[in-house]
A and B are shown apart, each in its own frame.
Chain A
Amino acid sequence: MNKKYTSCSLLLCSLFLTVFLLSFSPVSAQTEQEIIDSVNTIVSQQLEKEKSPAPPTEVEAVDKPNDGGGAVLINWTISDDGADIKGYIISRSESEQGPFHDISESVQGSDSYTDNKAIQGVTYYYQVKSYKDILDLNNEIQRITSPTVSTGPVVSTAQWFNTDRAWCLFFVLIISAAIIIFIEKAKKGSSVYVRKIAGIDAVDEAVGRATEMGRKIFYIPGIQDMNDVQTIAGIAILGRVGQLAATYETWLEVPVSKSLVMVTARETLKEAYTQVGRPDSFQEAQVHYLTDDQFGYAAAIDGMVVREKPATIFYMGAFFAESLILAETGNAAGAIQIAGTAMPSQLPFFVASCDYTLIGEELFAASAYLSKEPRQLGSLKGQDVGKAIFMAAIILGVIFETFGIWNLSQIFLVK
């Protein structure tokens, strides 16, 4: 603040001096202009000298850790007069002597910058300087920079292991090992107890109902493509439902919103019909494409449900805002509805509108549960080990955090 007052005083004094000289001195117009210019120069020089911001300190450029190369992290400590500083200018050169080229401007208060355009293996030198904008005597914005601070050399390299994810890898390995151990145990004939899942047990009843009523079954595998694990889980369940539908000779229709899902669902269903000895009952038209558009898809299915009144509707996969539109229409049409999704925000809608809902992990367990294959059931048991680990970690974490003993929660932070 003192600096500001000093500058203002200087400005006022110089202006006063100029006006005084112009008013009382018998000088020519050319001399007047010369006097004004010289005063302006003195004031500008003084302002610049006084206003020049403090440079950042402790500037350091390091190879960005835990990356695939091609990035350099530049850190600095914010300048002393940080509040007046508008930002920092970062320059780069491949030689210590330069020339340095500006590569970025960081905003006020920032104390680091990641240069993502560095080339792996090339040596770089960096310069950082702070800047601020002031109004000059002509009322124009003038940028004033601090002296530059250099750092380097630094070379960007690729790492072979992301150490930030070491704990994650540890838990992944433990849980994966548990799953594989239980799969092997199940293979050797060890009995596996799996709790009853009402939604999956109801599949038989739902297909049976459609058979008795002589109406269709609709199977909706969500609106995501085959690269979503929920869609894969949905298609896996479709195989089991397809076997039942083929056995009872009930028409199963699968309207899809993605072409790749259509192809996969068709293959799955064809195989399911073949396995129960009814390959001739399968028709390609059972699996058909509607549209990629979310609400267009919902509208098309709603129309089909209202017109054709299916006895049973399955919703298995990834759903978004269309979940309630579909499920409420199905409910109004009087269909028995079984839903399964791993989208937490859509679960309440399915719970409210459907007869049975597979909540989160149950969707992924459904295929194993329906197959009754020991190896698949064994994987569910391994999953329980993971749950036990997390439950223990939650309980210990609550106790430790409450008493401030150890920052256990940091282990579970995903970076």
Chain B
Amino acid sequence: MRREIPLLITSIAGLVFAISYFIPHWPFGESESIFGDWITIVQSFAIWLGALNLLKVSFEKIYRKRKDSLYAGVIIFCLVATLIIGFYDGFSGLMQEPEVSFRAPGTHFDWVFVYIYTPLSSTMFAMLAFFVASASYRAFRARNFEATLLLIAAFFVMGGRVPLFDLPLLKLGISDVPYFSLFADWIMSYPLTGGMTAIMIGIALGIMSSSLRIILGIERSHVGGA
């Protein structure tokens, strides 16, 4: 029963969702928003599971004096400090007239968000620029025919996206038409869109097949089955 009930729920939910796409009448038409609300509620409660697990794992690391216990300490400190600041701002905001949200500009929590969280996130995102460069270097090495094609396409797209190649043509009066930009647009609009569409069709069919396997109970790995 421990596996059958989740499988049954999965099958019913899957079928209802599939049917609701074609039948707008109640109750099918409303099912997506009803299930959506349920998911949000379950996720909201589940976040405590995650937070407690994070604390447990981190405390364990410190207790066992593992080599990365310093990072575990930082995690615990940050988690608890943010929690305290959030609760403090939340309660003090409730006492004020009119009430002030803990996320309102000027609160301590907002300060943490603006001056600690946002710069850290931006730093991680900014690292992408360097990773793109290193990944491009590997991807564009002309090792075989496909890689060479990729290199040529990338050369024209990158050159066409900035006025690097067109500028001399236009400045020297060789041509009034930005041919390189147009060629880059053509690569993006036709070969790329064609390839992406093919992948999307494959993905759609894969999702359909996967969903059917789950609804029919053939695929059970997600409920801990083989």
Contacts and interface: CB of A to CB of B under 8 A. Distances in A.
A314 to B, nearest CB: 14
A288 interface: yes
Contact of B22 (A161, A236, A239, A349): A161
Contacts of A361: 202-203, 205-206
Interface stretch (B104-112, B125-133, B174-182): B125-133
B29 A379 contact: no
A289 B205 contact: no
A60 interface: no
Residue in B49, B50, B201, B216 whose Cβ sees the most chain A Cβ within 10 Å: B50
Contacts of A179: 208-209, 212
Contact of A383 (B30, B50, B209): B209
Interface string A250-278: 00000000111011100110110001000
Contact of A376 (B201, B208, B218): B218
Contacts, number: 207
B224 interface: yes
A371 B219 CA distance: 10
Contacts of B224: 239, 264, 267-268, 270-271
Nearest to B132: A324
Interface in B101-128: 120-121, 124-125, 127-128
A226 B47 CA distance: 13
Contact of B25 (A158, A176, A324): A158
Given A262-B50, A321-B125, A367-B221, A382 B30 contact: no
Nearest to A236: B221
A68 B49 contact: no
Contact of A289 (B23, B49, B138, B208): B49
B24 interface: yes
Contacts of A271: 224-226
Nearest to B79: A291
B54 interface: yes
A298 B124 contact: yes
A390 interface: yes
B135 A328 contact: yes
Contact count band on A: 35 or more
Contacts of A295: 120-121, 124-125
Nearest to B134: A328
B68 A307 contact: yes
A262 B212 CA distance: 24
A43 interface: no
B57 interface: yes
A180 interface: yes
Interface string B213-224: 110101101111
A364 to B, nearest CB: 3
Given A352-B135, A359-B199, A365 B23 contact: no
A66, A260, A348, most chain B CB atoms within 10 A: A260
A351 B24 contact: no
B218 A183 contact: yes
Contacts of A176: 208, 212
Provide the main secondary structure of the chain A interface: helix
B135 A349 contact: yes
Interface stretch (A12-20, A84-92, A199-207, A227-235): A227-235
Contacts of B23: 160-162
B21 interface: yes
B211 interface: yes
Sorting the interface of chain B by its residue count into under 10, 10 to 19, 20 to 34 or 35 or more gives: 35 or more
A69 B26 contact: yes
A66 B25 CA distance: 9
A360 B29 contact: no
Contacts of A239: 221, 224, 226
Nearest to B36: A227
A325 B126 CA distance: 10
A368 interface: yes
Interface stretch (B38-46, B92-100, B158-166, B183-191): B38-46
A172 B208 contact: yes
Contacts of A285: 57, 60
Contacts of A175: 205, 208
Contacts of B124: 295-296, 298-299, 322, 325
A165 interface: yes
Given A263-B49, A324-B131, A375-B218, A365 B206 contact: yes
B83 interface: no
Given A364-B209, A386-B205, A264 B218 contact: no
B196 interface: yes
A290 interface: yes
A271 B210 CA distance: 20
A292 interface: yes
* B53, B138, B209 pick with most chain A CB within 10 angstroms: B209
Nearest to B200: A344
B206 A351 contact: no
A232 B210 contact: yes
A58 interface: no
Contacts of B203: 342, 344, 360-361, 364
A129 B128 CA distance: 54
11 contacts: A67-B24, A68-B30, A69-B24, A225-B43, A232-B222, A236-B222, A239-B224, A259-B53, A263-B49, A291-B54, A361-B205
Q: Closest 7 A-B residue pairs measured CB to CB?
A: A68-B29, A364-B206, A361-B206, A259-B50, A236-B221, A295-B124, A259-B46
Interface of A: 66-69, 158-162, 165, 168-169, 172, 175-176, 179-180, 183, 225-227, 229, 232-233, 235-240, 258-260, 262-264, 267-268, 270-271, 275, 285, 288-296, 298-299, 303, 307, 321-322, 324-325, 327-328, 342, 344, 347-349, 351-353, 359-365, 367-368, 371, 373, 375-376, 379-380, 382-383, 386-387, 390
